[in-house]
A and B are shown apart, each in its own frame.
Chain A
Amino acid sequence: MVYLTLGFLLLFALLAVLLRDILLSVLSLAAVSALLSIAFYQLNSPVAGAFELSVGAGLITVLAVLTISFVQKRKEKRQAGAVLWVVLSLTVAALIFFLFQALWPQALANVFPKTAWGDVGEVLWKVRLFDLLPQILVILAAVLGILALLRKEGENKEK
């Protein structure tokens, strides 16, 4: 079952690279993130899966679509065919998943080692505290960097 998920993941990754329209590429990348989070869940890594789904498929997609909407004027009429392709591929992928689960339920048998949510938290806050704090600082520095980049010219002069 993981092979099927990762196969679709590669298909959407290929679409993300090859599609000419950058908005559709970003949406394909969101599908890649969603499929990767399903694969993580199948690999008994629910914490990484939840993070990948919320951050990879959610936040990054929103940020990218927002930026594209600022920098690009879209020509709606020319996009209909390409949008249809992406929607069709997603529908076919979901259908194949459903059929695969219905026809071969034994394929869902999970053979990977199990981890509890608490185990990951314990490792994160106890074993890895030394590098976790600098990484929080890195994230704060990145936020300041973004604010500096998006500052309008002459903003300080007006004050």
Chain B
Amino acid sequence: MNLWPFVFALFTLGIFCLLTRRNLVKILIGLELLSKGATLALIWSGILRNSLAYTQSLAVIVIAIEVMVVAIFLALVYAFHEKSSSLDTDDMRRLKG
């Protein structure tokens, strides 16, 4: 049994979403898919190395940090929408320099 192709597919989908979508919530979904791929990779590597308890504790922390990333990202989305009434990343260009 090999789960690496699924991890690779999740990473690919996440990166595709990050690179091609311009909606901020879609970008968050791309980040989430990357994070889920990382969690699956952790658990699968724990099975392969027979250290499932350790990798599960790592996965729990990854999930806890993931929800904080999501919360901050959504707060940023809300704050940006309050300023510009848009969710398009193209409208964020005026933030540069």
A→B interface (CB under 8 Å): 2, 6, 9-10, 13-14, 16-17, 22, 25-26, 29, 32-33, 36, 39-40, 43-45, 47-48, 51-52, 55-56, 59-60, 63-64, 67-68, 70-72, 111-115, 119-120, 122-124, 127-128, 131-132, 135, 138-139, 142-143, 145-146, 149-150
* Total cross-chain contacts (CB, 8 A): 165
Partner of A71, one of B17, B47, B56, B77: B77
* Binary A-proximity of B41-83 (CB < 8 A = 1, otherwise 0): 0011011001011111111110111111111101111110100
- 8 Å CB contact of B53 from A123, A143, A146: A123
Ordered by A's residue number, 5 sampled pairs between the chains whose C-beta atoms are within 8 Å are A29-B33, A36-B40, A47-B57, A48-B56, A112-B52
A45, B26: Cβ atoms closer than 8 Å: no
Q: Which of A120, A146, A149 contacts B56 (CB 8 A)?
A: A120
- Nearest CB to that of A131 among chain B residues? B61
Q: B25: which of A14, A64, A120, A122 is its contact (CB, 8 Å)?
A: A64
Q: Is B95's CB within 8 Å of the partner chain A?
A: no
Minimum CB distance partner of A36 in chain B: B36
Partner of B52, one of A45, A59, A63, A131: A45
- Indicate with 1 or 0, residue by residue over B1-25, a CB within 8 angstroms of chain A CB atoms: 1010010011001001100010101
